[in-house]
Amino acid sequence: MSEIRGRLVVQQCVSASLKLSRGEGQEPEIVEIKKGMVVFVCFLNGASEDTVEQLTKHITSIRLTEEEESGKRVSVCEAEGDVLLIPQATLGGRVKGRSMQYHANVDKVVGEGLYRSLCCKVREAVEAVSGGSVKCGVYGARQVLSMNTNGPFTHIIEV
Amino acid sequence: MSEIRGRLVVQQCVSASLKLSRGEGQEPEIVEIKKGMVVFVCFLNGASEDTVEQLTKHITSIRLTEEEESGKRVSVCEAEGDVLLIPQATLGGRVKGRSMQYHANVDKVVGEGLYRSLCCKVREAVEAVSGGSVKCGVYGARQVLSMNTNGPFTHIIEV
């Protein structure tokens, strides 16, 4: 486990929306995607731009999405699906007694930089080859997620 | 990784509903929970009733749920929250090239038995100490999930 630097939980969805608070007195921002996948992201100790590259490749190329007519699995790009990337530090937790401990998580400032980089790279990769759009959450903020699935299919991917 | 026998993805929710198809011509059944947690479950090679016991203990006792007033983390039982258990064979996948492989997943018949056992044990454990209710999916069936979170907080638990 100590060598894992990036961890994803990927869930196929029919639609998903994320409400982001923007501080007191401001209306929350809502980001939405249609058919595609919700990707929860966590960076662990030792994560670097290399980790970002590997995760980008996995997110955009692994065949996780069911093609509607054939039922065949294709990548989210091949399916022209959307991607919603949500930072999720809790994925770095390990059970210790009755609690979760987060000692393996990367430093917050480093994690925020890597998350922003991942958002850029996934957006570039998806928009270069497909009509899908890529939306992102806000690192370290409370986010209200609603999602609808037609499966659901949940995958864990570690690099 | 080869020693992992049970894997969970746990997501805190404000509400969740799962639509279960019951065969042609029949109305789908809908199971719903209120505030509590959605637990995706996968059994891997070597899983046994021991694995079920360990997962039951983790699901019911680990402090994963935020207490509304204090913000303190408590167990789903302490929070009197509901639990929705969803069988999720895709959690057993490992990346191989551009595909996911599922060689580590337990035999389907064994997996179904263990899943049913987990549902019974978690239900007994929750209902013995809290007002929360426990709902289950159907092993091997396509299930349409909708969920709303106020976090979201996603955890991976392996035994």
Give the ipTM: 0.93
User: How many whole angstroms from its chain centre is CA A73?
Assistant: 19
For residue B61, give the nearest of A64, A93, A98 by CB distance.
A98
> B93: Cβ–Cβ under 8 A, 6 or more apart, which residues?
A155, A156, B100, B101, B102
Q: How close A111 comes to chain B (CA, Å)? A: 17
Tokens of A6: 């990036």
B152: cis peptide before it, omega within 30°? yes
- On the question of pLDDT at A151 being above 90, the answer is no
DSSP codes, A18-74:
EEE--STTSPPEEEEE-SEEEEEEEEBTT--HHHHHHHHHHHHHS--EE-TTT--EE
The string of pLDDT tens digits covering residues A55-72 is 999 999 999 998 878 889
Bridge partners for A31 per DSSP:
A18
Q: What is the CA radius of gyration of chain B?
A: 16
CA distances to B4, B60, B124 from B132, in Å: 29, 11, 11
Q: Which residues contact B158 (CB under 8 A, 6 or more apart)?
A: B4, B6, B7, B8
User: Residue B2: what pLDDT?
Assistant: 52
The DSSP secondary structure of B81-134, one letter per residue, reads -EEEEEE-GGGG-EEETTEEE-TTBPPHHHHHHHHHHHHHHHHHHHHHH-S--E
Residues of B whose CB is below 8 A from A151: 142-145
Nearest CA-CA distance, residue A110 and chain B, Å = 20
Which of A58, A88, A146 has the CB atom closest to B95's CB atom? A58
- Report DSSP state, residue B78: T
Cα separation of B29 and B92, whole Å?
Answer: 27
Across the interface, do B98 and A62 touch by the CB < 8 Å criterion? yes
Question: What confidence score (pLDDT) does residue A2 get?
Answer: 52
Identify the burial level of A120 via C-beta atoms within 10 angstroms of its C-beta, where 0-12 means exposed, 13-18 middle and 19 or more buried.
middle
Res. A112: pLDDT tops 50 = yes
Per-residue tokens: B23: 């065969």
Question: What number of CA atoms fall less than 13 Å from residue B141's CA on the CB side?
Answer: 16
The full set of domains in chain A, from first to last, is: 6-158 (3.50.80.10)
Q: Which run of H or of E encompasses B157?
A: strand B154-158
Report how far residue A53's alpha carbon sits from residue A130's, in angstroms, rounded to the nearest whole number: 19
Task: Name the closest residue on chain A to residue B91, using Cα atoms.
Answer: A155
pLDDT of residue A79: 94
Is the Cβ pair B63, A151 closer than 8 Å? no
Chain B residues contacting A via beta carbons under 8 Å? 7, 9, 40, 58, 61-64, 73, 75, 86, 88, 90-91, 93, 95, 98-100, 142-157
**CA dihedral defined by A19, B132, A148, B154, rounded to 10 degrees?**
60
Tell me the pLDDT tens digit for each residue of B141-150: 888 999 999 8
Q: pLDDT tens-digit profile of B77-118?
A: 999 999 999 999 999 999 999 999 999 999 999 999 999 999
Confidence of residue B1 (pLDDT cuts 50, 70, 90): very low
**Terminal C-alpha separation, chain B:** 10
Residues of chain B with Cβ-Cβ distance to A73 below 8 Å are 99
What residues of A are in the B interface, CB distance below 8 Å? 7, 9, 40, 58, 61-64, 73, 75, 86, 88, 90-91, 93, 95, 98-100, 142-157
